[in-house]
Homo-oligomer: A and B are copies of this chain.
Amino acid sequence: MSIERISTQTRREQITETALNVIANQGVGSLSMAVLARRIGLVPSAIYRHFDSKDKVLDSVVDLLQKKLLGNVAIVRKEGTDHLNQLKRLLALHVRLILEHQALPRLIFSGDIYYGQPERRKKIFKIVEKYLHEVASIIREGQRQGRINPDLDPDMLSVVFLGLIQPAAILWHLSDGKFDAGKQVEKAWPFFHDAVKARKQTETLT
């Protein structure tokens, strides 16, 4: 009569993924134990066999997000081509990630997820910070390699880099998919690339 029984380990992953999807599609406000349970085919109280509370579920979601986000960085670093190319690749992966899980910006922005939860807020900040560190680090290597203009501040650039994606993601989502985030980023990349690459010789920066 009942649903198949699954090990807590797998269940936890399933619950976390589902929660991420709910947040992505409907926002943090729509995430309830009931919704979560229904989507999986469980009864609300069953969730408590695997998580102590809704808060713990949210913590788990944040962890998942971290894994996915920083995972992308690891991927492009392994590919180890030229550093500007790493950034390009990272951009592409990030776009895909965001389009798959619109939840990413929502987790960061909504505030509902960390209001009254300073720990969680700090954690999310750390994740973003780490991501930016990695990007800045790639940029620095590119500068050492002589491919990226050494006059530019890598930390500033890393934030701008993030900005190549974010608004595109918003627009995509707000427009219900009509705005083509992929195309925007494709167009924005050459602009960024050109602005960032080392100048051949004499070129004033004003």
Complexed CA–CA distance, A168 and B166 (Å)? 11
A93-114 to B contact mask, C-beta < 8 Å, 1/0: 0000000001001101111110
Residue pair B174, A124 in contact (C-beta under 8 Å): yes
Residue pair B171, A110 in contact (C-beta under 8 Å): no
Task: Identify the A interface with B (CB < 8 A).
Answer: 26-30, 102, 105-106, 108-113, 115, 121, 124-125, 128, 152-153, 156-157, 159-160, 162-168, 170-171, 173-176, 184, 187-188, 190-195, 197, 205-206
Residue pair B30, A128 in contact (C-beta under 8 Å): no
Residue pair B195, A191 in contact (C-beta under 8 Å): yes
Q: How far is the CB of A74 from chain B (nearest CB, A)?
A: 21
Residue pair A193, B167 in contact (C-beta under 8 Å): no
Contact residues in B for A125 (Cβ distance below 8 Å): 171, 174-175
Q: How far is the CB of A26 from chain B (nearest CB, A)?
A: 5
Nearest B residue to A108 via CB reads B170
Residue pair B163, A27 in contact (C-beta under 8 Å): no
Residue pair A115, B26 in contact (C-beta under 8 Å): yes
Q: How far is the CB of A166 from chain B (nearest CB, A)?
A: 5
Q: How far is the CB of A77 from chain B (nearest CB, A)?
A: 21
Contact residues in B for A167 (Cβ distance below 8 Å): 159-160, 162-163, 166
Complexed CA–CA distance, A192 and B195 (Å)? 8
Complexed CA–CA distance, A124 and B171 (Å)? 10
Residue pair A171, B159 in contact (C-beta under 8 Å): yes
Residue pair B159, A110 in contact (C-beta under 8 Å): no
Contact residues in B for A105 (Cβ distance below 8 Å): 109
Contact of A206 among B152, B156, B162, B190 (CB under 8 A): B190
Ordered by A's residue number, 8 sampled pairs between the chains whose C-beta atoms are within 8 Å are: A26-B111, A28-B110, A29-B111, A106-B109, A166-B166, A190-B205, A191-B195, A197-B206
Residue pair A112, B28 in contact (C-beta under 8 Å): yes
Residue pair B194, A194 in contact (C-beta under 8 Å): no
Contact residues in B for A168 (Cβ distance below 8 Å): 159, 163
